[in-house]
Each structure stands twice: as structure tokens, then as C-alpha cells.
Structure 1
Amino acid sequence: MTDVVRAFDEESLACARVLAELTPPEFARPTSCPPWTVAELIAHVTAAIARVPDGLAAPAPSRADLDAAGYYHPRIFDATANAERVAAAQYAAAAQPDQADLVAAFDHQRRRSMDGIARQPPDRLIVTRWGDGMALREFLLTRVVELVLHGLDLAAALDRPVWATPTAAALVTGFLGVDTAATRLGWDQPTALAKGSGRAPLDPNEQAELARIPLRPFG
């Protein structure tokens, strides 16, 4: 799990450093994940990484039902589930009106996750919020996906350069299936992440290139 653990550690730390620099008005900015504000999107990502230690605290399941790609299957992220996670992030942000508390909660869950991971064997299985079993490495990859792609959303809302760290960015472009296409098209990592995840428009040549590969969904 060395690569995905390193990616999670580096990416979550990079995000924590950016969040610590935010000014109060920046937390109220809208994001490209409506209806969330920056504060609400931070609360969502905090909840996403908290699922690592929470899942590890439960008994390990007997088998792995999903891999990282299967985690984002439309049958899991349906309209009801999406409405619930939107509301949960709004509630969590409203419960922490002091932005310093919101940032501290993110950093706490980041550290809690790393502490939990460090005590696990490589073949550890983890139960997801939906009750499915996953290999810890596969589940941790979904957390890296959340950190990197929502990091793009936060960077855009905050008018800041994309801070995706190299190991994490490489894992996510590979997960999205656009790493080879990115090389052929001459995309840098931020461009590959934005276009591969549907966060930036494609020109006709790019559309034709991506039509040749099976893109993975991101919920």
C-alpha cells in the first residue's frame, strides 16, 4: 500500500495547509459542487476521510465486494444517497460556524486516518458506509480520489493554483483512465485531472481521444 498511503498522507497534508491559510470570507464562497459553499465542501471531504478510521474500528468483513471503481457505481450514488450527503455536509458546516474548528476537524481526521492505517496489515479489509467489504488499499484510493478532485473544486472556488501532489495526481489520473490519453494530448496533471473528471470542457480532438477509452465514473 506504500503508494496509496503516501498519496493520502501528502495530499491531505497539502489540503490542510491550504485550509489553514483561508480568510473568513473565503469559506462562504460558492463552489462548482452546488449547493455547497467552500465550508460545506470542506465538511464533506472531512467526512470522507473520517470513514477510514471509522471503517477500521469496525470488525473486518469476510470478503471484498468492491474495488475502487466499483465504489462509484451509480447504484450506490443514486439520487437519495446524493441528497443525504449534500445535507450532511451542510449540517456539519453549520454545526461548526467557527472556521478554525472546521479546519481543525479536517486536520484531526487526517491524522486519525494515518494513525489507523499505520497499525493495519497490507491485506486488511474494511467495511464501507454502505456495508460493502473492500481491501483497505482500494478504499484508501477512493479517499485519494476525493481529496484530489474536490481539491480541484476548492482551488477553483478560492482562485488558487491546483495543489494536487505528484503521487496522488498520478494515482487519480490512472484511476480515471486518462493517463495514456493525457500523454498523447500533452496535458499536464491539473489539466488531465480536470478534463478526465468532467471538470473542464473538451475540444473535439480531446473528445475523440477520450472516446477510445473506458472512462471511470466519479460520484
Structure 2
Amino acid sequence: MSDEARVVLSVLGGEVGALVAALSALPALAWERPTRCDPWRVRDVVGHVIVVLSRVPDMVAAPAPERAGTTAAAYYRADGRFSDDTNDERVRTAQRRAADPDPALLVRDLVDTGRTVVEVCREEPADRVVRTRHGDAMLLTDFLTTRLVEVGLHGLDVADAVPREPWLGPAATEHLLRLLFGPRWQVAVDATGDPITLLRRATGREPVTAEQRRVLDQLGLRHLALG
């Protein structure tokens, strides 16, 4: 892997570990709490995270496309991948993965899935290209960034639903903000005052005023379609 890919994979593994630690401390009733990702409960959000991670090994095992044609930011574009039918399927798939009533088994599923992702990716070449389920050809590094988006942002959703203080680490926060704002990400943080608040506002997880929206756009926010 390239140095960049190793960093992304390390940060992703760390965030999966942080999510596992947080989930392991939850009382049973917390798993049934509603989240902002309606109609998902906490357990369904966890099911979704497991599902999106579980696709990585199959993608790595499949033949590699000749060249990449989609970046991590472009992956989150508003097309058929966020149609009503696709969203309905996304909801059902997550709920099926989370159907076991024992939260400990869901945590174990997340641990095993996260470990497998790291194992199958760490020996891949720097220029490895994979094909997503939506048909995109992407550098594995970029696709791993999208998995960090899923683990990190849905970790915020779980933290806010429980509720407890977010556990998103500094390295993951910086990586996500670089995706959203590019090289001016620190300027965006300084303008907002808090990186987690900035992430919430930039991804639709906190209401914004017209003035706040204008500032985000001035700072170069890349608007990602996130369902």
C-alpha cells in the first residue's frame, strides 16, 4: 500500500475500535433508541456500518478495473445510489444485519468485519483500483476514505442518540474535514470554533442558518449526498 493508504487504513481501524469500545459500554435499552437516521435505531445504524465494511473484502477479491474514475468526494453524488428504491434496500439490509437481539453478537460482528477489512487491504498495491457496488472504479485508498465517512459520521449519530460525548478521534476528524473542505479545512475549523460542530453542520447533522450556510460555502464545502 501507499503511505497514504496505510494512514487511511490505520485511522479507519482506529475508529472501528473506538466504536466497538463505545458500543460495548452501552446498556441494552440504548440499542433500541431512535437515531436521526430515521427509521433506524442505534442497532440498525450499527448494522449499516457492518454492511458497508463487509463489502470491502469482496471488492478486493474481485478483478481490478484498469483505472480509477471516481474520487471519494464524487462517490457521494446524488444519483441512483440515493434513489427511493436504493434507500429502501439500504434500510432493510441494515435492519437484517442488526436483527439478532443480543447486542454482544453485533459487537462481535463489527470486530470481525473490521479486522477482515484491515487484513485484506494492507498488502494491496498502492495503485489498487476496486469496483464499487454502484459501478464506480476507485482507488482503494479513496474507497477506504468513504468507509471512514460511514464509520465516523454514523459514530456521531450513535453518540448523539445514546447520548454521550462523541469519540471521533483527531486523525479521523482531520481526514473527514479534508474531504469536505480540502486544504482549507483548518480555516473552516477556526471559523466555526469546534471541529465536531463543523462536521455536524457540513453533513446535515445540525441545522444551519442561512448565514452559516453562506459561510460554509465560502469556505469551500463540498456538498456530499449522504442519503
Q: Give yes or no for TM over 0.5.
A: yes
Q: For structure 2, which runs of at least 5 residues remain unmatched after alignment?
A: none
Matching of residues 177-188 of structure 1 within 5 Å = 177=181, 179-188=185-194
Q: CA deviation at 1:31?
A: 0.5
Q: Which residue in 1 is equivalent to 2:96?
A: 91
Matching of residues 63-212 of structure 1 within 5 Å = 63-75=67-79, 76-94=81-99, 96-177=100-181, 179-212=185-218
Q: CA deviation at 1:181?
A: 4.8
Residue aligned with 1:211, SS: helix
- 8 Å Cα contact 1:8/1:143 also seen in 2: yes
CA distance in 2, matches of 1:65, 1:136: 12
Residue aligned with 2:196, SS: helix
CA distance in 2, matches of 1:36, 1:200: 18
- 8 Å Cα contact 1:15/1:151 also seen in 2: yes
Q: Which residue in 2 is equivalent to 1:25?
A: 29
Q: CA deviation at 1:107?
A: 0.7
Q: For structure 1, which runs of at least 5 residues remain unmatched after alignment?
A: none
Q: CA deviation at 1:204?
A: 4.6
Residue aligned with 2:138, SS: strand
Q: CA deviation at 1:53?
A: 1.3
TM normalised by structure 2 equals 0.90
Question: 1:78-132 CA deviation, whole Å, 9 max, x = no partner?
Answer: 22211110111112212x2221111110111000001011121111111211232
Q: CA deviation at 1:160?
A: 0.8
CA distance in 1, matches of 2:89, 2:136: 18
Selected match of 1:8 from 6, 12, 22: 12
TM normalised by structure 1 equals 0.93
- 8 Å Cα contact 1:126/1:135 also seen in 2: yes
| Segment of structure 1 superposing worse, 169-178 or 158-167 | 169-178
- 8 Å Cα contact 2:9/2:122 also seen in 1: no
CA distance in 1, matches of 2:213, 2:43: 33
Q: Percent identity?
A: 36
Q: CA deviation at 1:196?
A: 1.2
Q: CA deviation at 1:54?
A: 1.9
Q: Is it true that 1:215 corresponds to 2:222 in the alignment?
A: yes
CA distance in 2, matches of 1:2, 1:216: 26
RMSD: 1.6
Residue aligned with 2:57, SS: helix
CA distance in 2, matches of 1:182, 1:126: 32
How many residue pairs align between the two structures? 218
- 8 Å Cα contact 1:6/1:167 also seen in 2: no
Question: 1:167-199 CA deviation, whole Å, 9 max, x = no partner?
Answer: 111011111227245334242221111111111
